[in-house]
Amino acid sequence: MEFPATRAAAFDRLEAFLPRAGRAYAATRNQDAGPGVDGSTSRLSPAIRHRLISEAEVAHRVLGAHGYGAAEKFLQEVCWRSYWVGWLQLRPAIWQRYCADVDRLTAAMDASLRTGLAMATEGRTGIDCFDAWARELVETGWLHNHARMNFASIWIFTLRLPWQLGADFFYRHLIDACPASNTLSWRWVAGLQTPGKTYLARADIIRDRSGGRFAVTAALAREAVALPMDVIPPPRPLLPADHHDPTLPSGLLVTTDDLSVETLPLPPLRAVAALPCFDGDLRSPKQVLAETALADGLARAATRAGVAAEQLASANGIDALRDWANCQGLRQVVTGEAPVGPIADWLAAVTPALAADGVRLVQLRRPWDAAAWPIATKGFFAFKSVIPRLLAP
């Protein structure tokens, strides 16, 4: 399977899929033909996750080609990611709690959990669909959305494994791994996101949606008992957006959270650098795609600014960034705003270090995010009602 890893390839993929983004998508989107088949989805999610191409660019192109009525289902799926990201942006404690849970469960893992986790992640459970999906995920970095939901349900309710470790398995391998979409989707399957609402994997539906590829003769859980609810904090006000000072000597920091630098309102730039990718096995599909996308974004940024591009050393990112800023004589480093997740956590740590050197770190918020995030206060159905307004020119 091929996924776009450059901005140009993302636009090519969008144009190729465009005829199927209307009613054809709505009719076939839940069908999973398996790896190697150009199926019912656009396969743009890795490019959107890294913002090689933005939600706004995809949505407006599809809207122009089909109109809202015919393309409503595709447009809603694009907006689901914006909703998840906005929901977590307003409740960052959920991300912090999830990360702490993964660390705690990993540190305290007993022999039984270690064995069960190995059987699940290596595809040795005896559940044919689940085992095939586990291998597909590791080998390709991809799973169809319907497969992801069923995998998560079997992991939680049939295998009785902690949902946090399943979400971590997905996050380490999925080439479109989004902190918000991944974490909150696993919570939704487990019945934590929408109180009492779970997703139960059913053999007959799996057989139908996979075109009969799986027999699913192993016994699956017959009921999905929601996990004990945790406390969901109320949404906090969205923090004010940063604004750059065009008079300060400035550099651009390119990260894998935002690689559409052409569409950012940037000040004049003296230098451009890229933040190394921190997660993923060096040879995993996730890491390979992220590094290719980052190199593409860095090259385009350098061309736009008319300066040389620099890849920062990965051994100590904070010191490398400080050294770069000081060597270039910068007083301001701008970057695309990173939503809640590992890069946002890293930027929060580097901000005071740069400030100690007299350098501002400015995260530029995109208009799409400024419009979408504040309205992700409740469930998606409330958010869905304002999608036409979000898509308005």
What integer best gives the mean pLDDT of the chain? 94
| Structure confidence at residue 284 as a pLDDT band (50, 70, 90) | confident
Give the angle subtended at the CA of 361 by the CAs of 344 and 310, to the nearest 5°.
85
Q: Over pLDDT 90: what percentage of the chain?
A: 87
Helix (H) or strand (E) segment spanning residue 64: helix 55-89
Residues 6+ apart with CB under 8 A from 234: 91
Distance CA 312, CA 62 (A): 37
Distance CA 311, CA 294 (A): 10
Question: By mean pLDDT, which of 93-107, 232-246, 305-319 is the weakest?
Answer: 305-319
Determine the pLDDT at residue 313: 76
Q: At what angle do helices 128-140 and 163-173 cross, to 10 degrees?
A: 40
User: Span 56-69, mean pLDDT?
Assistant: 96
User: Span 173-197, mean pLDDT?
Assistant: 94
Of these ranges, 192-206, 270-284, 312-326, 354-368, the one predicted with the greatest mean pLDDT is: 354-368
User: Span 11-15, mean pLDDT?
Assistant: 97
Single pTM value for the model: 0.95
Residues 6+ apart with CB under 8 A from 137: 143, 151, 169, 170, 173, 174
Determine the pLDDT at residue 226: 86
Reply yes or no on whether the pLDDT at 277 is more than 80.
no
Reply yes or no on whether the pLDDT at 195 is more than 90.
no
Reply yes or no on whether the pLDDT at 315 is more than 60.
no
Give the angle subtended at the CA of 163 by the CAs of 182 and 281, to the nearest 5°.
60
Distance CA 308, CA 313 (A): 16
pLDDT digits (tens, 9 = 90+) for 214-252: 999 999 999 998 888 899 999 999 999 999 999 999 999
pLDDT digits (tens, 9 = 90+) for 324-341: 999 999 999 999 999 999
| Structure confidence at residue 103 as a pLDDT band (50, 70, 90) | very high
User: Span 55-81, mean pLDDT?
Assistant: 96
Reply yes or no on whether the pLDDT at 316 is more than 80.
no
